[in-house]
Structures are given as structure tokens and as C-alpha cells.
């Protein structure tokens, strides 16, 4: 009795640590501490699990933790910030897969469970398997291994038939109270196939929303399996992750003006629809002229995007900002919710470079400031500053909230070439009369801007 109380009390403390950690992760100022709090909770929950009554296979558990820990440490050290979205997709998929594996063990255990327990195990298995296979496809798309969406005739009908077959297999298991190897295998193969077929037709531009959705599903699957195992830590942690993932999905969908139905069943992101053809030409500018323009400005707003992350230009951009501030220029940063292909990506990069949090603003806070800005410097961003989202009703991104860079007196766009953005849509901003294209690698261009300002 005492041991059981200690275990449950420890799980409760671990759950509280998870919640505190998640709360602190909501702000860049406290995010690092939040990770430590949540990590402490995970360590506590893991250690206490070794004392669970009837627990066996300690050597196998320790080996699995060791292998997983080494791989996580190695990949965490090795992965570039530009690859963080696909890393999140991969890790999220592992969580869903783990929940599904727990369900498989319970269903194949030979014991007859009650109706509710079996139902929860099946729900966790279905959701976890779909999240696992779907997240792996999302990883492959973001990694560039799958270049194009895959579509075929009657795809949605095929998915519906697969779902119906999966539910039928689940009903058979539910009636039996447990499952034999054949019916359980059929159930999981069908569930994994659903995750694959639902994800392969989705375009790359929608992947951030898809990853957020699968994150929510993984949390839900873990919570269901927590009920099956009567594990309070899994129930609370899964519920918290599921809730956070749901809120994040809503945030991402709102930021892209997308509904989950349109994400899962339409073709945005594959450049199938271009919208109205953009008129005009792109007008280049030299770094020396752009530097002068910024140096004598009163107010400059910098808009970072994925291109800045690829070029690892955040440190040079901060150095440029400091030079401008020394000349009395007011410099702020404008961050779109999906800049960098996942929430917080740009915030992390800027924090890494030492940019103070008090000059970094999100879309809602900064948009009204563009009317009074002398220069908007766009470095590596594309779709999140495309005015077609406001003006072109035929554009796939019409209605998506964007940063109002086009309303600044002058717009300087740092870009490698004249290519289109991640969504494959031409950016009308590049052709406006007040826009100038500063071609080149983000880090090299930032260095040239710094040099030109220092020479003034």
C-alpha cells in the first residue's frame, strides 16, 4: 500500500512538473527553464516506473533507455535549426508509435479486458498508429525525400473504406475482449495504411498544420493508453500534450487561413493553383544603396524567414541591428506564426543570436507599425508577406493573415534568386513599386550591409 501510494504520488508530481514545464515553454524568456522542469518530470516518472509492482525485464528497459538516450543526444547535437520541423515530426511519430505498441501488447496479452478498457486500447492503437505512419510521411516530405504530393482516383473513398475496415476489425477485437495475432495484425496494418494514405496527398506548405495535428493525436493516444495501464502520469501528460497540440493546430490553421478539412482533403501546397498572374518586374538594388537607405531611416522592421535560417544569418542580422541602433534607428523584428515552417522557429534563432525579446513582435502586435516604417527588410521570408493573401481572391493563400511589409515606405527583399516560396505561389510583393530585390546568400548580404553602413 505504501509503495503504491509513493508511486502514484510521484506520478502526480511528475504530471505537475510537465504542466509547469509546458507553461514556461510558452514564452521564449522561460522556455529553457520549461524544458528542464518537464525533463525533471520525465526522469521522475521513468525512475518510479521501475518500482511498479510486477515489473520485469529491467535489463531490456535500461538498454532501451540507453540506446534511445544516446540517439536523442546525438541527433539533438547534430540536427540543424533548419531541420527542426522534420525532427519534431519524427519524434512525434515515435510517441504515437509507442502508444500503439503499448496497445498491441495489451491486446495480445491473452487476458480478456473489460469493454471500456478494450475500447480505449483500440482507440489509442488507431490514433497512435495513424500518428506514427503519418508523421513519418511528414518527415519525408519536409526532408525532401518526397518532392510531390501523391494522389490517385477515389483517394478519399479508399481512405473511408480503410477506416471502415479498421473499425470492423476493432469491433471483432472488442467483442472478444482481446485479440488474436491475425486480427490484431490486420487492425494495425490498416491503421498504419490510413496514416500513410491520408498524409501523402497533402502539399508541403500544409505540413506545419499536419505536424501539429499529429502532435495532438499522439497526446490523445498516450492518454488513452494511460487509462488502459491505470497510469496517472500517462493520462495527465497525454491530456496536456493533446490539448496543447490541439491549440497549436488551431493557431497554425488560423495563421494560414486553413481548415482541417481543406488541409486533409485539398491540394494546397503543390503549386497546382497559381492565382492571378503577377504583373510588373522585380527591381534589384545593391547592398551599398540598401545600407544607406537603412542607415538614414527612422524606423526599420526586419522580417526573418526560413531563408535566414538556411543561411544561418541571424548573428549577422543582429550585428546589423546594433549598428543601426547606434545611429539612432529604431529597429524591431516582426514574426509570423508560421515563419520558419513551425511556431517559434524564428524566435529561437533570434534568441540564439542574442536579439532581446522586447524588440521581437508577433503579427498582431507589429502589423499596424508598417504604415510608419521607412524600411521593411525581408530576409528569407516569402509567403508570409505576400499581399496576394489580401487582394487576390483566386490565390490559394487568400485570406491568410500576413505581415503588412508592403505598407512600409520601402521594402528590401533579401533572396537568393527569383524563385517562388514554399507554397509555390508567386509573391506579388516582389513586383511592387516600393520593393527592391537584394539578391544573394542571407549571411553574405547581411555582411555587405554591415560593411556599407560602417563606411558611412
Inter-residue contact 23 to 244 (CB < 8 Å) = no
Predicted confidence at residue 240, as pLDDT, reads: 87
Is 392 assigned a catalytic role?
A: no
Predicted confidence at residue 1, as pLDDT, reads: 47
State the average pLDDT over residues 187-212: 87
**Catalytic pick among 206, 270, 383, 406:** 383
State the average pLDDT over residues 228-241: 87
Predicted confidence at residue 3, as pLDDT, reads: 62
Predicted confidence at residue 41, as pLDDT, reads: 92
Is residue 359 over pLDDT 80? yes
Predicted confidence at residue 256, as pLDDT, reads: 74
Predicted confidence at residue 272, as pLDDT, reads: 45
Predicted confidence at residue 54, as pLDDT, reads: 79
The string of pLDDT tens digits covering residues 340-356 is: 767 777 888 888 888 99
Kindly report the average pLDDT of the chain as a whole number.
87
Residue 144's pLDDT band, with cuts at 50, 70 and 90, is confident
Predicted confidence at residue 57, as pLDDT, reads: 84
Rg (the chain; Cα; Å): 25
Domain boundaries, given as residue ranges, for the chain: 1-78, 80-272, 287-454
Residue 161's pLDDT band, with cuts at 50, 70 and 90, is very high
In the chain, the percentage of residues whose pLDDT exceeds 70 is 92
The string of pLDDT tens digits covering residues 375-399 is: 999 998 888 899 988 888 887 778 8
What gap in Å lies between CA 316 and CA 99, rounded to an integer? 43
Is residue 291 over pLDDT 90? yes
The string of pLDDT tens digits covering residues 237-276 is: 899 889 888 888 888 777 777 776 766 665 444 444 455 5
- Quote the pTM value: 0.81
Is residue 412 over pLDDT 60? yes
The string of pLDDT tens digits covering residues 39-75 is: 999 999 889 988 888 788 889 999 999 999 999 899 8
State the average pLDDT over residues 289-310: 93
Q: Which homologous superfamily does the CATH classification assign to the domain defined by 287-454?
A: TPP-binding domain (3.40.50.1220)
Is residue 182 over pLDDT 80? yes
State the average pLDDT over residues 285-307: 94
Predicted confidence at residue 232, as pLDDT, reads: 82
Is residue 4 over pLDDT 80? no
State the average pLDDT over residues 200-204: 81
Looking up cell 534568386, which residue turns up? 417
In the chain, the percentage of residues whose pLDDT exceeds 90 is 45
The string of pLDDT tens digits covering residues 78-121 is: 887 777 788 888 998 999 999 999 999 988 876 667 788 889 99
Predicted confidence at residue 203, as pLDDT, reads: 75
Amino acid at each position: 500500500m505504501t509503495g503504491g501510494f509513493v508511486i502514484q504520488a510521484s506520478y502526480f508530481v511528475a504530471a505537475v512538473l510537465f504542466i509547469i514545464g509546458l507553461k514556461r515553454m510558452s514564452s521564449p524568456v522561460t522556455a529553457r527553464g520549461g524544458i528542464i522542469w518537464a525533463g525533471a518530470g520525465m526522469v521522475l516518472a521513468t525512475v518510479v516506473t521501475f518500482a511498479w509492482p510486477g515489473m520485469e525485464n529491467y535489463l531490456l528497459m535500461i538498454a532501451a533507455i540507453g540506446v534511445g538516450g544516446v540517439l536523442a543526444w546525438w541527433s539533438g547535437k547534430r540536427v540543424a535549426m533548419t531541420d527542426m520541423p522534420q525532427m519534431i515530426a519524427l519524434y512525434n511519430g515515435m510517441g504515437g508509435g509507442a502508444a500503439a505498441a503499448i496497445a498491441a501488447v495489451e491486446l495480445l496479452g491473452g487476458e480478456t479486458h473489460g469493454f471500456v478498457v478494450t475500447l480505449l486500447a483500440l482507440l489509442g492503437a488507431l490514433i497512435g498508429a495513424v500518428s506514427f505512419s503519418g508523421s513519418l510521411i511528414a518527415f519525408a516530405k519536409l526532408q525532401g525525400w518526397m518532392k510531390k504530393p501523391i494522389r490517385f482516383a477515389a483517394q478519399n473513398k479508399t481512405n473511408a473504406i480503410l477506416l471502415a475496415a479498421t473499425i470492423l476489425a476493432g469491433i471483432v477485437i472488442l467483442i472478444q475482449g482481446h485479440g488474436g495475432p491475425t486480427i490484431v495484425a490486420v487492425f494495425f496494418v490498416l491503421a498504419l495504411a490510413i496514416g500513410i494514405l491520408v498524409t501523402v496527398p497533402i502539399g508541403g506548405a500544409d505540413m506545419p498544420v499536419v505536424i501539429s495535428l499529429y502532435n495532438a493525436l499522439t497526446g490523445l493516444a498516450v492518454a488513452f493508453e494511460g487509462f488502459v495501464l491505470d497510469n496517472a502520469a500517462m493520462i495527465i501528460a497525454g491530456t496536456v500534450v493533446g490539448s496543447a497540440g490541439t491549440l497549436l493546430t488551431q493557431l497554425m490553421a488560423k495563421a494560414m487561413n486553413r481548415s482541417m478539412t481543406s488541409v486533409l482533403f485539398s491540394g494546397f501546397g503543390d503549386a497546382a493553383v497559381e492565382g492571378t498572374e503577377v504583373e510588373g518586374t522585380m527591381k534589384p538594388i545593391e547592398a551599398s544603396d540598401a545600407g544607406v537607405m537603412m542607415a538614414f531611416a527612422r524606423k526599420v522592421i526586419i522580417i526573418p524567414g526560413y531563408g535566414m535560417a538556411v543561411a544561418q544569418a541571424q548573428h549577422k542580422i543582429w550585428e546589423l541591428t546594433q549598428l543601426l541602433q547606434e545611429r539612432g534607428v529604431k529597429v524591431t523584428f516582426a514574426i509570423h506564426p508560421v515563419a520558419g515552417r513551425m511556431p517559434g522557429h524564428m524566435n529561437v534563432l533570434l534568441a540564439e543570436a542574442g536579439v532581446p525579446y522586447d524588440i521581437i513582435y508577433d503579427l498582431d502586435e507589429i502589423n499596424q507599425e508598417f504604415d510608419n516604417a521607412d524600411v521593411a527588410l525581408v530576409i528569407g521570408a516569402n509567403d508570409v508577406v505576400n499581399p496576394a493573401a489580401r487582394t487576390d481572391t483566386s490565390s490559394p493563400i487568400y485570406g491568410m493573415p500576413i505581415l503588412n511589409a508592403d505598407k512600409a515606405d520601402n521594402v528590401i527583399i533579401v533572396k537568393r534568386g527569383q524563385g517562388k516560396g514554399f507554397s509555390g505561389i508567386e509573391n506579388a510583393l516582389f513586383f511592387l513599386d516600393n520593393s527592391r530585390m537584394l539578391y544573394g546568400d542571407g549571411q553574405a548580404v547581411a555582411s555587405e550591409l554591415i560593411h556599407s553602413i560602417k563606411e558611412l
